[in-house]
Amino acid sequence: MNFVISDWVVATTNEDEMLHGYIESIDVLQGIARVHVIASDRETAIGRIMEVSSQDVKKLPVSEFDIEDQVKSLIDVALTTRDEQWFNELSAKLFAIQNNGAKRGERDVFPSYYHNRLGVDQF
């Protein structure tokens, strides 16, 4: 097994259904992984935990968030959860992404407006 709990995976069931989700638990002795299904060929499986053979599980690669809109969305989540450390990390990441793009003026890096994509004013 080359995966652990919380890894994002793609798996195939005994009925040849494709599952996409994350590992909830692993039974090493029986060779079974329990996957919380996010997407599947069978719509009734979505949102459920399915048991699949560990042999039929493939770990998805971890991707780095480097798209500006993705980082901005995560900043909104950090603000909502009031996680200051994560907010600072994401802000630094956003600043680096914006500086690595095409040469811009300083006012383009930090826009004069803020658009709250969560649609929430206060908590």
Q: Render each residue's pLDDT in the chain as its tens digit; 123 residues.
A: 688 998 989 999 988 899 999 999 999 999 999 999 999 988 999 999 999 999 999 998 876 666 888 888 888 888 888 889 989 999 999 998 888 864 444 444 444 444 555 554 444
Beta 49-53 vs 18-27: how paired, if at all? unpaired
Are the beta carbons of 37 and 47 closer than 8 angstroms? yes
User: Token pair for residue 27?
Assistant: 């039974």
Strand partners, 9: 21, 59
The secondary structure element, H or E, covering residue 90 is helix 84-100
Question: Is this prediction's pTM over 0.85?
Answer: no
